[in-house]
Structure 1
Amino acid sequence: MEHSTRLPLVSIVTINYNSKKETLELIKSLEGTTFENWELIVVDNASEESPLKDIKKLNPSVTVIESGQNLGFAGGNNLALRHCKGEYIFFVNNDTELDSNCLSTLVKTAQHLTEVAVISPKFQYYHSDGLLEYAGCTNINRFTARNRAIGHLEKSEKYSGLLETHYAHGGGMLVPKRIIEEVGPMEADFFLYYEEMDWCERIRRAGYKVYCQRDALIYHKESASVGKMSPLKTYYMNRNRILFMKRNYPFPKIIPFFFFYSFVSFPKNFLGYMIKGKQKHLRALYRGVFSHLNSKLTY
């Protein structure tokens, strides 16, 4: 155990993509944090309308990086790293708002644990009566490539304290900069979804641990920039589900998953979209799966 009373600099990184309203609300929520030593870096992933002017009007100290193209979640966050001066990097979704003590609690925890690599706060749905989204999660199921969020849709007050867990929540992750320099950044090829799980697998293989600090709270407004059931989500959830398993469960460990996906998951989703007449989702499903055989099948 290591104990420190020094207040380190935290670089807060968030991605904006056609969601200026949510980004501005996040910036406003940060003004109420009890943690005082932080900088904010916003990466705009080639939005139709640049948020630069409005962000600077609200808080001139914010660093805004305009990527010029949509780099996705992992690519956008990786772009920000070269601009981060902090000892810790806090990756946070722009469709969230932090409880005033969230960042202080996360940093204090990180300073007390020598083996820590990633810490996520507890996630509560913003538009709910204290219902949880995430308080840690289970390991991935090697047959289905799915896992379960602990505490999902349960009352927030049921969960407190520090928990070692398998995966962080990509919507809020505090990571020491030295860990990123050692292990490397998130894999940009994921673009959207599964990238934080893949990163946690690499970090744990390097000998570090992943935690959920359930005494730190963040409020999540769901997928404000993507949509709950968009074809974009269908494409990347299926493409990256396979990509994650290929990267982390090499042959022959991946064989049970391929049987399950080929004979259960894919047919079920295909028939479901076909019966409901969701042609855009059918196309997204097909292109997501078969992009592993033909790289030209992008979204």
Structure 2
Amino acid sequence: MSVLPSVAVVILNWNGKKFLEQFLPSVCKSTYGNLQLIMADNASTDDSVAYVEQHYPQVRVIRNPGNNGFAGGYNEALQHVEADIYVLLNQDVEVEAGWIEPVVAMMQQDPKIAACQPKLRSWHNRDEFEYAGAAGGWMDILGYTFCRGRILYTTEKDLGQYDDPQDIFWATGAALFIRSHCFHEAGGFDADFFAHMEEVDLCWRLKRLGYRICYCPQSVVYHVGGGSLPQGNPRKLYLNFRNNLMMLWKNLHSEDRWIVLSQRFFLDILAAMKSLAAGKPKDMKAIFKAYIDYRRWRRNYKHDSRLPDVKLMTLSGVFHGIMIWRYYFLQHKKFSELKHEKARKTVF
């Protein structure tokens, strides 16, 4: 009889008592047979730790010394977790009892599957995909991220159109299944990111190491989204722009780095001007600050020589075009409307 891989569901918490009260009961009903439940707390100032310790003694609590965001918080906590597979789960996610088993079964079929995500639906509109991951993350040739089922701020209803398991470019950090040895082999999250796009950066590094990132539609979870920073927040905009630039500088092939980033600079200037014209000067300032801090970071960054220099276009889950052009000028609002390369077909 084969032994089930050990799985640790790790929920990173910061002042999230209301979410824990609402969603932790569903996590505790998980039926997987070799499971540990952990809450990693990022130095919360509410009474969420006391609440969990009192009401959920089966949940182990790890206390991080400070709040180093999503990236640093998980890096710190996972040093103290032993399991074959980590499941990094947002505190604002509702799960179904059997949500773990299909993903683990998929990962067992190929040791090269380093990370995997379930289908993400919106908790508020349960028949729609959710922004943070939908049916798997993709990227275009200029580093713009989007999902099957969500392009920019347009989300689709789930009509079963993306129920095929397949390779993707990045798996959502809201419900990320990842082999523990792969997480550590790739160096974990980049703590400089603090929050936003750290999972995309990690998945890109894993792909450069020859691993696969996959989507498992048989598992469905429901995500509230915007629990820490809502859409439209200038701080969120700043992190998204800065972190995306850092990710591109780190991971693009040396031959492509300058041409991609020069095109992004032009498009990001247009985005800043658009924000100003729309009466959102704080958004424009956030974009300019992102560039200033990115350039400051770049002066001190040294590329990891352990990672192969791999062309972005050779990787699965990459759209061979410019997504924002298709979205704004050709009105392609759905993933199925993009004329993209066929995703790698794999028999699961």
Tell me the TM-score normalized by structure 1. 0.89
- Out of 57, 77, 82, which is 2:79 matched to? 82
Partner of 1:148: 146
Q: CA deviation at 1:250?
A: 4.6
Deviation at 1:112, TM superposition (A): 2.3
1:287 matches 2:289: yes
Match of 1:214 in 2: 217
C-alpha change, 1:285 and 1:213, in structure 2 (3 Å) is same
Q: Specify the SS of the correspondent of 1:60.
A: coil
8 Å CA contact retained: 1:11, 1:39: yes
Query: Any residues of structure 2 matched to 1:44-123 within 5 Å, and which?
Result: 44-123=41-120
Give how far 1:129 is off. Answer: 4.0
Distance 2:267 2:183 in 1: 37
The runs of at least 4 aligned residues of structure 1 exceeding 6 Å deviation read none
Distance 1:24 1:36, change over 3 A: farther
Q: How far does residue 156 in structure 1 lie from its aligned partner after superposition?
A: 4.8
What code does the residue aligned with 1:187 have? D
- 2: CA distance between counterparts of 1:245 and 1:191? 16
1:19 maps to 2:22: no
Q: Relative to structure 2, which stretch is displaced further, 234-243 or 224-233?
A: 224-233
User: Which of the residues 28, 31, 55 maps onto 2:28?
Assistant: 31
CA distance in 1, matches of 2:164, 2:254: 38
- Greater shift after overlay, 251-260 or 284-293? 251-260
Change (3 A) 1:71 1:253: same
Name 2:153's counterpart in structure 1. none
Q: For 2:227, what is the secondary structure of its paired residue?
A: coil
1:137 maps to a residue whose letter is G
What is the rounded CA distance, in whole Å, between the counterparts of 1:262 and 1:159 in structure 2? 33
Shift of 1:26: 2.9
The equivalent of 2:194 in structure 1 is 191
Letter of the 2:21 counterpart? L
Distance 1:294 1:188 in 2: 16
Query: Bigger CA drift: 180-189 or 271-280?
Result: 271-280
In the aligned structure 2, how far is the partner of 1:46 from the partner of 1:275?
40
CA positional deviation for 1:208: 1.3
The one-letter code of the counterpart of 2:235 is L
Contact 1:41/1:80, CA 8 A, preserved across alignment: no
Pick one of 273, 276, 280 that aligns with 2:275.
273
Report how many aligned residue pairs link the two structures: 289
- Match status 1:233 vs 2:232: no
How far apart, CA to CA, are the structure 2 residues paired with 1:101 and 1:142? Answer: 36
TM-score scaled to structure 2, two decimals? Answer: 0.77
- Point out the more displaced range, 147-156 or 242-251: 147-156
Q: Which residue of 1 aligns with 2:167?
A: 164
Give the AA of the match of 2:74: N
- Which 5+ residue runs of structure 2 have no aligned equivalent? 151-155, 298-348
Give the equivalent residue in structure 2 for 1:182.
185
- Return the alpha-carbon distance in structure 1 between the equivalents of residues 186 and 276 of structure 2: 42
Supply the distance in 2 between the matched residues of 1:112 and 1:227 (Cα, whole angstroms). Answer: 37
CA contact (8 A) 1:163 1:214 kept: no
Quick one: distance in 1 between partners of 2:11 and 2:282? Answer: 29
- Contact 1:10-1:87 at 8 Å conserved across structures: yes
CA–CA distance in 1 between the matches of 2:254 and 2:82?
40
Give % identity. Answer: 26
